Amino acid sequence: MSTDPWIGFDADDTLWHNENIFEKVHERYYALLARHHDAATVERALYATEMRNLPLYGYGIKGFTLSAIETAIELTEGKVGTGELRELIDLGREMLDHPVDLLEGAREALEALAPSYRMILITKGDLRDQERKVAKSGIERYFDAVEIVSEKDAGTYERIFARHGIDPASFLMVGNSVKSDIVPVLGLGGSGVHIPYRITWGHEHAESPPDDDGRLFRAASLRDLPEIVRRWR
Give the domain extent around 37: 19-96
For the entire predicted model, the pTM comes to 0.91
Among 96, 117, 137, identify where a domain stops: 96
- For residues 2 and 182, give the distance between their C-alpha atoms in angstroms, rounded to a whole number: 22
Q: Are 64 and 22 in contact (CB under 8 A)?
A: yes
pLDDT at 5: 96
pLDDT at 233: 82
Number of domains in the chain: 2
H-helix or E-strand spanning residue 129: helix 127-137
Q: Are 49 and 29 in contact (CB under 8 A)?
A: no
pLDDT at 2: 67
Tell me the chain's radius of gyration from C-alpha atoms.
19
Other Cβ atoms within 10 Å of 133 Cβ, number: 22
Question: Is residue 143 one of the residues assigned to a domain?
Answer: yes
Among 38, 61, 96, identify where a domain stops: 96
pLDDT at 208: 73
- Based on the fold, state whether residues 77 and 109 are members of the same structural domain: no
Query: Average pLDDT of 29-47?
Result: 94
Among 96, 123, 148, identify where a domain stops: 96
Give residue 202's pLDDT band: very low, low, confident or very high (50, 70, 90): low
- Based on the fold, state whether residues 160 and 60 are members of the same structural domain: no
Residue 50 is given by DSSP the state H
H-helix or E-strand spanning residue 218: strand 216-218
pLDDT at 185: 97
pLDDT in tens, 141-171: 999 999 999 999 999 999 999 999 999 999 9
Mean pLDDT (the chain) is 93
Q: Are 122 and 150 in contact (CB under 8 A)?
A: no
